[in-house]
């Protein structure tokens, strides 16, 4: 990871930094906003659900209260009191009269409360009920589902939803069972009020969100349903919920089931202490607004990231523009353009580096000028030294030959040699210039060969050939052919039995001038001679060739060369290659 980061350009690192900063800030802001909205909405959803549940429980409480009040009012009526007195007096003969008298109070109860389906008064002298309700004769009260619970009841008992077994309409009802309110003490008297389940359910569920789905009315003791509201069946089997229902009158808690989180709210009914209303809602549905906030936050993060990328790209380009300009100038300096200078309107760190870069270029130009002057002086001194090394060597051989002829009284030959030597030195001096024309160089080697023929009569013969006379005006280093001719005479012809032959030629090859010197002497070890020329400290026998090779490189550049080939006693050749000035490279 580090290596990948280190390979990135400065601009890409800036882009990455801006992007990470923007994404981190957006993500942090989005997460905090989401967390605040989540907690706030969760609390509001719980409170809202609890308030809705409390209102529904209050409505049901009111209706149950109304049923108790209506029943109590009926018990305070004169027909009911008279009936209770007859029971107390054990006078069953007035049963039909009391049944007739009670029709008006019983009808008033049904008219007053539309949820009342039927009313049954169970007494020792017989059952009293509205004659409009058809009693099921085969079912006795003590044989009903709840009949066994009546002897142990308090003043009021509520019976959960069931199909009415006492009347033939077989309605789904909730039954209110009350003991009588009377001035006399009677036993075995119970008032049963059957209330229509659909009316009670409609009262509770109308206006609830989701059509009462997830709402339950259950027994807090068993968790079994008392009346179906929105869901068939009982509560989900959750011990934590049942424990909360038994211990608290109202509240809410979270339930985890099947990978989902539900919010459960509950409220106990005041008039039916064992009954509790419960709502269980999916938390995701309750917090759907939070999910919208999350989606919006993600969208904002994406937009911020894109904006940050565009802004970072533009900002990095603007900030790095002077640096890129400085980088471009450095590339120009690599191509030997030292006259470039950095300039900027800003006064920042990059500008300070650019000014130091300018000072470095100025110092570099000064240093290069000094090096050029020193190098030029060095080259002139080297050429002088090389020339001084060649001249004494040749002069020694020539004077030695002249002394020998003088001793032999061959004065005419000595005079000719002195004349040739004079012209040889004149051409060699060349007015102090290190370059001469090809014509003068060939004249110089001709005088040298004439002198050597005087020294070594009959040893060799020579010829000089020029391919094109226009070549005679070309500039060449002076005294480059004479050392080659000297090497052929002194070393090539030493073991030659017959007469030696030297041929010097000049010709053009492309943009190069080729000077060739060929002899039929004993030849040479090409590899050893070439190695000797290239050594910094050559052997004594390679000294003259080393001097020629060095002057060619100094005066004509690296393209100049001196090469050899050898076939002993057949053809030994030295080839000088000189680039012709003023002609483009092929």
Q: Could you report the per-residue pLDDT of 328-367, keeping only the tens digit for each?
A: 888 888 887 878 888 877 777 778 888 888 888 888 888 8
**What residues form DSSP beta bridges with 225?**
218
**What residues form DSSP beta bridges with 513?**
508, 578
pLDDT digits (tens, 9 = 90+) for 90-101: 888 888 999 999
Q: Of 567, 403, 390, which Cα lies nearest the Cα of 486?
A: 390
pLDDT of residue 381: 62
Answer whether residue 586 shows pLDDT above 50. no
pLDDT digits (tens, 9 = 90+) for 75-92: 999 999 999 999 888 888
What HEC string does 21-46 produce?
HHHHHHHHHHHHHHHHHHHHHHHHHH
DSSP 135: B
Region of 326 (left: φ > 0; alpha: ψ -120 to 50; beta: rest) is alpha
Q: Read off the pLDDT of each residue in 262-277 and give the average, rounded to a whole number.
A: 86
Residue 33 CA to residue 28 CA, distance in Å, equals 8
Position 463 confidence tier, pLDDT thresholds 50, 70, 90:
very high
Beginning with the edge strand found earlier in the chain, give each strand of the sheet holding 275-282 in spatial order.
225-227, 215-219, 275-282, 260-268, 250-257
Q: Read off the pLDDT of each residue in 436-452 and give the average, rounded to a whole number.
A: 91
Q: Read off the pLDDT of each residue in 496-511 and give the average, rounded to a whole number.
A: 93
Q: Read off the pLDDT of each residue in 165-180 and give the average, rounded to a whole number.
A: 92
pLDDT of residue 509: 93
pLDDT of residue 471: 93
pLDDT of residue 576: 96
Of 352-361, 404-413, 507-516, the range with the lowest mean pLDDT is 404-413
Choose from 51-65, 393-407, 560-574 the range with maximum mean pLDDT: 560-574
Answer whether residue 578 shows pLDDT above 90. yes
pLDDT of residue 288: 65
CATH number for the domain formed by residue range(s) 48-285: 3.30.450.20
Position 319 confidence tier, pLDDT thresholds 50, 70, 90:
low
Contacts 24+ apart (CB under 8 A), 289-297: 289/37, 289/41, 290/34, 290/37, 290/38, 290/41, 290/42, 293/33, 293/34, 293/37, 294/30, 294/34, 297/29, 297/30, 297/31, 297/33, 297/34
Q: Read off the pLDDT of each residue in 468-472 and give the average, rounded to a whole number.
A: 92
pLDDT of residue 387: 55
Q: Read off the pLDDT of each residue in 543-561 and give the average, rounded to a whole number.
A: 86
Could you tell me which residue, 259 or 549, shows the higher pLDDT?
549
Interior CA angle at 160 toward 158 and 162, to 5°? 125
Residue 351 CA to residue 322 CA, distance in Å, equals 8
> Would you identify the CATH topology of the domain 392-579?
Heat Shock Protein 90 (3.30.565)
Answer whether residue 269 shows pLDDT above 70. yes
pLDDT of residue 93: 81
Considering the chain, what is the average pLDDT of its residues? 82
pLDDT of residue 24: 78
Could you tell me which residue, 326 or 132, shows the higher pLDDT?
132
Q: Is the Cβ–Cβ distance between 447 and 423 less than 8 Å?
A: yes
Of 287-301, 451-465, 496-510, 518-532, the range with the lowest mean pLDDT is 287-301
Number of other CB atoms surrounding residue 92 within 10 Å: 13
Answer whether residue 392 shows pLDDT above 80. no
pLDDT of residue 442: 94
pLDDT of residue 210: 61
**Residues near 202 by Cβ (< 8 Å), separated by ≥ 6?**
none
pLDDT digits (tens, 9 = 90+) for 290-309: 666 667 777 877 787 777 77
pLDDT of residue 233: 57
pLDDT of residue 347: 76
Answer whether residue 219 shows pLDDT above 60. yes
Residue 313 CA to residue 12 CA, distance in Å, equals 9
Q: Read off the pLDDT of each residue in 573-579 and give the average, rounded to a whole number.
A: 95
Domain residue spans in the chain? 8-45+292-326, 48-285, 392-579
Answer whether residue 416 shows pLDDT above 70. yes
Residue 553 CA to residue 434 CA, distance in Å, equals 13
pLDDT of residue 345: 77
């Amino acid at each position: 990871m580090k290596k990948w980061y280190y390979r990135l350009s400065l601009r890409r690192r800036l882009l990455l930094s801006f992007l990470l900063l923007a994404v981190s800030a957006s993500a942090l802001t989005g997460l905090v906003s989401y967390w605040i909205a989540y907690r706030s909405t969760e609390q509001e959803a719980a409170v809202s659900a609890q308030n809705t549940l409390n209102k529904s429980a209050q409505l049901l409480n009111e209706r149950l209260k109304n049923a108790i009040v209506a029943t109590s009012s009926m018990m305070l009526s004169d027909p009911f009191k008279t009936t209770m007195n007859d029971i107390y007096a054990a006078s069953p003969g007035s049963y039909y009269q009391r049944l007739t008298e009670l029709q008006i109070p019983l009808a008033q109860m049904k008219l007053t409360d539309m949820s009342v389906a039927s009313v049954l008064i169970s007494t020792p002298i017989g059952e009293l009920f509205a004659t409009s309700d058809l009693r099921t004769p085969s079912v006795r009260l003590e044989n009903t589902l709840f009949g066994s619970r009546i002897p142990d009841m308090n003043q009021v008992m509520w019976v959960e939803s069931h199909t009415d077994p006492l009347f033939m309409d077989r309605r789904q009802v909730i039954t209110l069972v009350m003991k009588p309110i009377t001035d006399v003490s009677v036993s075995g008297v119970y008032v049963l009020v059957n209330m229509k389940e659909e009316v009670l359910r409609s009262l509770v569920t109308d206006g609830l969100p989701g059509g009462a789905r997830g709402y339950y009315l259950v027994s807090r003791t068993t968790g079994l349903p008392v009346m179906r509201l929105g869901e068939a069946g009982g509560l989900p089997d959750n011990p934590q919920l049942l424990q909360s229902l038994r211990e608290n009158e109202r509240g809410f808690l979270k339930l985890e089931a099947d990978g989902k989180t539900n919010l459960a709210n509950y409220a106990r009914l005041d008039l039916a202490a064992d009954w509790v209303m419960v709502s269980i809602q999916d938390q995701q549905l309750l917090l759907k607004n939070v999910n919208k906030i999350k989606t919006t936050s993600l969208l904002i993060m994406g937009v911020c990231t894109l904006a940050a990328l565009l802004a970072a790209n533009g900002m990095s380009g603007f900030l790095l523009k002077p640096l890129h300009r400085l980088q471009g100038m450095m590339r120009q300096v690599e191509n030997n353009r030292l006259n470039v200078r950095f300039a900027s309107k800003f006064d920042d760190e990059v500008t300070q580096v650019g000014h130091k870069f300018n000072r470095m270029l100025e110092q570099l130009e000064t240093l290069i000028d000094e090096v050029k002057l020193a190098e030029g002086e060095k080259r002139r001194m080297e050429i002088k030294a090389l020339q001084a090394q060649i001249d004494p060597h040749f002069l020694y051989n020539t004077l030695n030959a002249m002394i020998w002829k003088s001793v032999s009284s061959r004065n005419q030959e000595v005079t000719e040699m002195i004349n040739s030597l004079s012209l040889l030195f004149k051409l060699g001096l060349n007015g102090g210039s290190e370059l001469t024309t090809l014509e003068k160089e060939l004249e110089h080697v001709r005088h040298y060969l004439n002198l050597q023929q005087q020294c070594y009569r009959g040893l060799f013969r020579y010829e000089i050939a020029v391919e094109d006379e226009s070549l005679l005006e070309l500039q060449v280093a002076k005294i480059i052919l004479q050392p080659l001719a000297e090497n052929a005479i002194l070393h090539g012809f030493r073991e030659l039995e017959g007469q030696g032959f030297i041929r010097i030629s000049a010709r053009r090859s492309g943009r190069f001038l080729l000077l060739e010197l060929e002899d039929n002497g004993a030849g040479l070890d090409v590899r050893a001679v070439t190695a000797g020329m290239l050594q910094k400290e050559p052997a004594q026998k390679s000294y003259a060739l080393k001097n020629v090779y060095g002057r060619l490189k100094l005066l004509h550049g690296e393209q100049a060369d001196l090469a050899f080939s050898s076939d002993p006693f057949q053809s030994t050749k030295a080839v000088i290659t000189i680039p012709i000035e003023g002609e483009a490279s092929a």
